[in-house]
């Protein structure tokens, strides 16, 4: 079975404020083993990056200004995730942004039934515990020292390890 670990970074926290995606990272797994097939793009959000978001990921408007827009990479992104289960930590957040971007260019949204939310799994397994990506890395002794700032691709690599540990713990 093919799966894709997916993460995004954004200009802010809400699509209702027209915040946009600035980075998409995807790591493909086959039977929970990385295939070395990745999808990664920094994106020009065509708007300002909030100060809070900049503090989280460190991507400035200047850095993003010469990157492709979502509409320019949408087809290759959709082809990458097509017919695969998508694994996301806190799926409602990333899905809201992905579906907002897809709606802006007239593409069908990604359906929740195609997504596995590792935050939901972690909350079921460890109710009342901290279940952030960092907390789960700590729980499973996963080295997250590369994660000084959020990065979609680094977070995908960490989530891949967390996901495998969550499945092994079932």
| Residues involved in catalysis | 150
User: Closest by alpha carbon to 11, among 3, 23, 1, 2?
Assistant: 23
Do residues 137 and 163 lie in contact, with contact meaning Cβ atoms separated by under 8 Å?
no
Distance in Å from the first CA to the final CA of the chain: 18
User: Closest by alpha carbon to 110, among 131, 91, 123, 129?
Assistant: 91
Beta bridge partners of 116: 87
């Amino acid at each position: 079975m093919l799966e894709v670990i997916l993460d995004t970074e954004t200009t802010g926290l809400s699509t209702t404020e027209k915040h946009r995606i600035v980075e998409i990272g995807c790591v493909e797994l086959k039977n929970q083993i990385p295939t070395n097939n990745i999808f990664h793009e920094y994106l020009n959000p065509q708007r300002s990056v909030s100060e809070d978001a900049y503090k989280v990921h460190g991507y400035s408007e200047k850095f993003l200004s010469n990157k492709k827009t979502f509409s320019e990479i949408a087809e290759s992104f959709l082809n990458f995730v097509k017919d695969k289960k998508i694994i996301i930590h806190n799926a409602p957040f990333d899905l809201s942004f992905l579906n907002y971007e897809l709606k802006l260019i007239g593409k069908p949204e990604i359906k929740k039934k195609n997504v596995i939310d590792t935050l939901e799994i972690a909350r079921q397994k460890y109710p009342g515990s901290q279940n952030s990506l960092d907390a789960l890395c700590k729980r499973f002794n996963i080295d997250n020292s590369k994660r000084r700032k959020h990065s979609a691709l680094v977070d995908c690599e960490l989530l891949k390890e967390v996901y495998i540990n969550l499945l092994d713990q079932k």
